[in-house]
Amino acid sequence: MRIIVCIKQVPDVEAEFHFKPDYPGIEVEKMSMIINPGDEVAIEGALRLKSIYPETEVILLSLGPPSARETLEYGLSLGADRAFLIVNDSYTFGQPFRTAHILAGAIRELGFDIILFGYRAVDDRLHFVGPAVAEFLELPHITGVTFMKVFKGINKCEAHQEVPKGINILECPYPAVFTVKRGLFAPRYPSMADRLAAKEKGIETFPLEKFWDEKTAKRYPVLAGMRFSIAETVRTERKVQWADAKKIAGILKKYKARTPMTESALDKGSGEEI
Amino acid sequence: MKKSIWVVAHHQVTDIKPVTFELLNMADALARQIDATVNTLLMGPSVAALSSQLIGLCDNVYIFEDPMLEEYHYETYQQIFIKMAERYRPDILIVSSILRGTDCFPRLAAHFGAHYVAGCLDLSYQPEEELIAYHQAVYEGRAILEGAFRLDRMAVIMTRPHVFAPSMERKRKETKVSLLEISLSPIEFLTRRVSSIKNVAISLGEALVVVAGGRGMQGAGGFKLLWELARRLHGAVGATKAAVDAGWCEHRYQVGQTGSLISPEIYIACGISGSIHHLAGIQGAKTVIAINEDPNAPIFKRADYGIVGNVFEIIPELITEIDSL
């Protein structure tokens, strides 16, 4: 079984934030770059499946600048078998069609049974590339997966899909695309020995031109412009008014539930659709 | 030809959900700028009766009823929207990201090579360049992107709930109600729902009131107190990354920092110090109420109302006050 995990190198938004108003909204060279947190969970999901079916090959795939090698190497240190970089000139933000088209091309080239993505990227937050790759490859998709099983004999996957009010358990045949969310798969940390071994494995590369040219680009929409500003909650201080419980209760009065939700509304249970 | 904006109505058994009126208000404002019609797609197993709630709010209501819509399947949605788009050629399709927006609409946009906007905060027209402009929170809420596109092809826009005022003002003299003229072909579903586990009555994105806890809640037991407050306000519970990492509640409740970005009307921050990373997650929260022991906690600089004190004393007091209202 071959699992392809698509990963992206993104700025660490929790580290120091170097903003700029022009594309891509940050001073990339000053930011610390990490693996997209959701993608790390996707790698963990792949490795859990590998632990059940040891002959599984876990392949990492990334579209990114040369610095994305570090991210792929990190993924290898976690236990992935091979890693491919589609070499781009620079960090990209908000070019979802281009990314999905290029990844779909490379995935077709590599061959696959299961394709995993992080649920979303922390930078452009578009939730796009996973389902779009599924569309381009004409495969079924399940988004927001927190846990999955593969039944190899009957060619079936079962996935727990997190939705706003709970979890749906879905099944589908594979090949299929899944976008993975943090849930039961907590990412592991590599040891120093794993880190060194990953360097030995090496990164393979694809030239971008193999999957992308100007003619293809014309098929897809482009934005006419992008400008960035610092978010208001981060930028603006508010004037606090000191209060007591009675005053706050007064402010909340209009939200008071006529019938408070019962404990059981919060409980797990019921097979109804959510 | 006149341009057309389509809005997908959200509904529950007997009501159109308020988010629909937000979307319609957003569509109406843009329609006036670009001279477009506003059309609402009302779809479900049995929804025709709900159309009366949309009269005066748009030019057309299109009803599509099918027993297949009893259960959500992206495969059904995909077919409906592809057929709808081919038949009616909408210029802009506006949906809310709550429910299953991020599951089916990226794929739809990919199918058509349509302009695609997620987490949209507003839409406007720039006449000098003939561009549609929008804002979206990016980098986990640290920055706001202003993007713009030309209406040279269909646009699929997913909006964040609560960012646009819902309007019930019946601005239109006439609203035509008709059936959506498409027919579904039978679908052999590839993805199939086996069962569901329902965890919460109201989701974090949808709730008008969010009661959130941080390190100051000291443990999973502390979060029980937050649930007690939330359920009285028909609200949802949120958590900081620190509280999730400590294992006090599941990741699904996390606000900011790889968790949800939310815009509730009321955000009650309990035992939350107020790091910038967390605050980036509550972009657009209208009223922020903070309860914290430390009067110098940064959260008080971003709060509209503050109570200095022990959360384990203040929250029960607040609950008693609310019960006595």
Strand, coil or helix: A104: helix
Q: Which fold has domain B209-323?
A: Rossmann fold (3.40.50)
Taking 90 as the threshold, does the pLDDT of residue B202 lie above it?
A: no
Residue type, B121: L
Sequence-separated (6 or more) residues with CB below 8 Å from residue A36: A7, A8, A9, A10, A118, A121, A122, A123
Nearest residue of A to residue B151 by CA position?
A: A221
| CA B296 remoteness from chain centre | 33
Residue B145 pLDDT level (bands cut at 50, 70, 90): very high
The domains of chain B are located at: 3-179, 209-323
Least Cα distance to A144 among B251, B194, B299 occurs for B251
Best A19, A252, A263 member to test B by mutation, with max B CBs in 10 Å, is: A252
C-alpha triplet B97, B100, B101: angle, nearest 5°: 40
Report residue A263's pLDDT band, with 50, 70 and 90 as the boundaries: low
CATH architecture of structural domain A2-217: 3-Layer(aba) Sandwich (3.40)
Q: How far is CA B237 from CA A65, A250, A262, B113, B279, in A?
A: 39, 20, 15, 38, 16
Instruction: Say how many C-beta atoms besides its own lie within 10 A of residue B156's C-beta.
Output: 25
**Residue B308: strand, helix, or coil:** strand
> Looking at CA atoms only, how far is residue B142 from chain A in angstroms?
6
* Amino acid A272: pLDDT: 42
Mean pLDDT score, B213-222: 95
CA B79 – CA A136 distance, rounded (Å): 16
Give the lowest-confidence range in A42-46, B196-200, B259-263.
B196-200
Q: What percent of chain A has pLDDT above 90? A: 85
* Chain B residue with Cα closest to A14: B277
The mean per-residue pLDDT over the stretch B1-19 comes to 91
* Chain A with chain B: Cβ pairs closer than 8 A: 301
- Mutate one of B142, B299, B312 to test the A interface: name it (highest A CB count within 10 A): B142
The dihedrals phi and psi of B122, each to the nearest 5 degrees, come to -165, 165
Q: Tokens 């004190």 correspond to what residue?
A: B309
Q: What is the 3-state secondary structure (H, E, C) of A166-200?
A: EEEEEEEECCEEEEECCCCCCCCCCCHHHHHHHHH
Flag if A13 and B285 touch (Cβ within 8 Å): no
Tell me which residue of B136, B318, B142, B140 sits closest to B235, measured CA to CA.
B318
Give the mean pLDDT of B298-322.
Answer: 96
Task: Answer whether A271 sits within 8 Å of B282, measured CB to CB.
Answer: no
DSSP assignments along B73-115, one per residue: -HHHHHHHHHHHHHHH--SEEEEESTTTHHHHHHHHHHHHT-E
**pLDDT value of position A91:** 97
Beta carbons of B266 and A229 less than 8 Å apart? no
To the nearest whole Å, the CA of B169 is away from the closest chain A CA by 21
**What CA–CA distance (Å, rounded) separates B259 from B121?**
18
Tell me the pLDDT band of A120, cut-offs 50, 70 and 90: very high
Q: Are B222 and B196 in contact (CB under 8 A)?
A: no
| CB of B99 closer than 8 Å to CB of B83 | no
Round to whole Å and give the CA distance between B269 and B163: 20
DSSP B109-171: HHHHT-EEEEEEEEEEEETTTTEEEEEEEEGGGTEEEEEEE-SSS-EEEEE-TTSS-------
Average pLDDT, chain A: 92
Burial of A237 (0-12, 13-18, 19+ CB in 10 A): exposed
Query: CB distance A143–B102 less than 8 Å?
Result: yes
Length of chain A: 274
B210 pLDDT higher than 90? yes
Gap from B175 CA to chain A (nearest CA, Å) = 31
Output A166 or A176, whichever has higher pLDDT.
Answer: A176
Using CA coordinates, name the residue in chain B closest to A131: B107
| Of B295 and B162, more confident | B295
Radius of gyration of chain A (CA): 22
3-state secondary structure of A152: coil
Element (H, E) at B267: strand B266-270
Flag if B197 and A245 touch (Cβ within 8 Å).
no
DSSP string computed for B169-227: ----S--EEEE----PPP---SSEEEEEEE--SS-TTT-SEEEEE-GGG-SHHHHHHHH
Query: Does the structure show a pLDDT above 60 at A222?
Result: yes
Best residue of A154, A165, A242 to probe chain B, by most B CBs closer than 10 Å: A165
Average pLDDT, integer, range B279-298? 92
| pLDDT exceeds 70 at position B247 | yes
Distance CA A187, CA A144 (A): 16
A198-226 average pLDDT score: 95
Note whether B169 contacts A: Cβ–Cβ < 8 A: no
N-to-C CA span, chain B = 56
Give the mean model confidence (pLDDT) for residues B6-33. 93
Distance of CA B76 to the CA centre of its chain: 22
Is the minimum CB–CB distance between A151 and chain B shorter than 8 Å? no
Query: Is any Cβ of chain B less than 8 angstroms from the Cβ of A202?
Result: no
Q: Does A228 touch chain B (CB under 8 A)?
A: yes
Per-residue pLDDT at B258 exceeds 90: no
pLDDT at A259: 74
pLDDT at B24 over 90: yes
CB-based contact B140:A13 (threshold 8 Å): yes
- The answer to whether the CB atoms of A220 and B113 lie below 8 A apart is yes
Q: Does domain B3-179 have CATH number 3.40.50.620?
A: yes
pLDDT at position B287 over 90 = yes
Give the C-alpha separation, B263 to B283, whole Å: 6
- pLDDT tens track for B37-72: 999 999 999 999 999 999 999 999 999 999 999 888
pLDDT, tens digit (0-9, with 9 covering 90-100), for B93-141? 999 987 678 899 999 999 999 999 999 999 999 999 999 999 999 999 9
Residue A183 to residue B251, Cβ atoms within 8 A: yes
Query: What would the mean pLDDT of A222-242 be, rounded to a whole number?
Result: 89
User: Cα(B305)–Cα(A206) distance, rounded to whole angstroms?
Assistant: 55
> Does the pLDDT of residue A267 top 50, yes or no?
no
- What are the chain A neighbours of B303 within 8 Å (beta carbons)? 238, 240
**Residue A192 burial by Cβ neighbours in a 10 Å radius (0-12, 13-18, 19+):** exposed
Query: Is the CB of A173 inside 8 Å of chain B's CB atoms?
Result: yes
| 26-65 of A, contacting B, C-beta below 8 A | 26, 37-38
> What does DSSP assign to residue B261?
-
Determine, for residues A233 and B143 on separate chains, whether the beta-carbon distance falls below 8 Å: no
Per-residue pLDDT tens over the stretch B75-102: 999 999 999 999 999 999 999 987 678 8
Structure tokens at A261: 């939700």
pLDDT score recorded for residue A273: 44
Residue among A128, A249, A255 whose CB faces B118 most closely: A128
How far is B240 from B169, CA to CA, in rounded Å? 38
- CB contact, 8 Å: B131 with chain A? yes
Output the average pLDDT for chain B. 93
Q: Band the pLDDT of A262: cuts 50, 70, 90.
A: low
With 0-12 / 13-18 / 19 or more C-beta atoms within 10 angstroms meaning exposed / middle / buried, residue A239 is: exposed
Please report the pLDDT score of residue B10 as a whole number.
92
Nearest partner of B149 among B133, B128, B138, B126, judged by Cα: B133
Task: Inspect the interface and report whether the beta carbons of B234 and A269 lie closer than 8 Å.
Answer: no
Residue of A219, A232, A248, A273 to mutate, testing the B interface (most B Cβ within 10 Å of its Cβ): A248
End-to-end CA distance of chain A: 33
Do A26 and B257 make contact, defined as CB atoms within 8 angstroms?
A: no
pLDDT at residue B224 is higher than 90: yes
Q: What is the pLDDT of residue B203?
A: 84
Determine, for residues A164 and B205 on separate chains, whether the beta-carbon distance falls below 8 Å: yes
Query: Given CB atoms, is A176 within the 8 Å cutoff of chain B?
Result: yes
pLDDT band at A247 (very low <50, low <70, confident <90, very high): very high
Closest by alpha carbon to A252, among B34, B24, B289, B278?
B289
> Using CA atoms, how far apart are residues B239 and B255, in angstroms rounded to an integer?
6
Task: Specify the 3-state DSSP secondary structure of A68.
Answer: helix
The answer for B 9-48 residues in CB contact with A (under 8 A) is none
Contact A164 B98 (CB under 8 A): yes
Give the lowest-confidence range in A89-93, A232-236, B138-142: A232-236
Q: How far is CA B40 from CA A132, B30, B170, B178, B219, in A?
A: 26, 15, 14, 10, 46
- How many Å apart are CA A200 and CA A193, to the nearest integer? 11
How far is Cα B253 from Cα A234, in angstroms, rounded to an integer?
21
Which residues have a Cβ under 8 Å from the Cβ of A235 and sit 6 or more positions away? Answer: none
